[in-house]
Amino acid sequence: MIPLRQISLPIPTPEPLHKSEAEAFLNHLRFMAMKCRAKPQTELFQACALLQVSRTENQVAHSEALVRCLSQALGKPFKFLAPGANEMTFDEQWVVQLGIACATGDGPSRDFLLRSRVALENQRLVAFLVGRIADYFSLN
């Protein structure tokens, strides 16, 4: 019989769930959700049509439009936690991954994420809004 040798492998360290820029992206959307929670939900096409704003107001306008339309685009209420929360809901993980895919130009991931949750007629507009918001953060 041959004696067995125990091989010691390095213990993998788990990667953090999200980077600091992804946290900033998510917290920005969380603050917008808090700001918009008393406002009525907006129809997605109408919200995008109203985005004729100045360059300095783009981030706020796109974020507000996205937050007010996400529930309609997904067909169910979008769940945001309070800003600064350490954990993320499934909805928040999804929007962060979508933001990263838009920022890095990862078309296949972006398309997969959109097709998995957003109705076909809303995919282009949701991708537009998330992409414009992600432009303000270094998500790559």
Q: What are the pLDDT digits (tens) for 55-106?
A: 556 778 888 888 888 888 888 999 999 998 889 999 999 999 999 999 999 9
Q: What are the pLDDT digits (tens) for 16-47?
A: 444 688 888 888 888 888 887 777 666 666 66
Of 22, 37, 33, residue with least CA distance to 95: 22
Cα separation, 68 vs 61, in Å, equals: 11
